[in-house]
Amino acid sequence: MLEKCRTAKERWGGVSEIIDHLLEERQLLISRFVALPTLTLNEEFTTRTEAFCDLLMDYLSSGHFEVYEQLLREGSEFDDGSLEKAQQLFPLIQRSTDFALDFNDNCASRLAELTLRKVREFSDQLSRLGEILEERFELEDRMIEILHNSHRDLVLAENRE
């Protein structure tokens, strides 16, 4: 997952500050995610899990309310079908948002009083969240590619004139 994040940053980093920020947040989110299973069940576990959930919510929010809006605005400036292609990805991305929101909501109750059952449930949900996030990152990468690469040649041609 982390390697895919680096590749995305190399491909689209610098396209705009907002995408750079999303990719940096993504890398931080992934690094904190992979650290969670290595933590001992103590106060630090609870604190770091809560911090991860906060970062997850920030990532989801910036995606929906900043990055996607800007990408759609850029895509709407060109009548090349890229906007329609990108909009088809939104329902798929929304499913990952819904799962992540549920994970966040349920996390507080699981952390309140750790039992073996709650730890097992948390582990299962964390594993599923990893799969969901990986799918989401691929969808976001496709959206970035569709909305930037589909009209890149037009922008370059306009800049040469």
For residue 34, what is the domain's CATH number? 1.20.120.1370
Provide the 10 A C-beta neighbour count for residue 24. Answer: 13
CA separation for the pair 67, 121 (Å, rounded): 32
Mean pLDDT of the chain: 83
Per the model's pLDDT, the better-predicted residue between 8 and 104 turns out to be 104
- Percentage of the chain exceeding pLDDT 70: 81
How many domains does one find in the chain? 1
* The model scores a pTM over 0.85: no
Give exposure, 45-70, as e/b (b: 16+ Cβ within 10 Å): bbeebeebbebbeebbeebeeebbeb
3-state secondary structure of 161: coil
Note the pLDDT tens digit of each residue in 88-143. 999 999 999 999 999 999 887 777 777 888 888 889 999 999 999 999 999 999 99
Give me the domain span that covers residue 101. 2-160
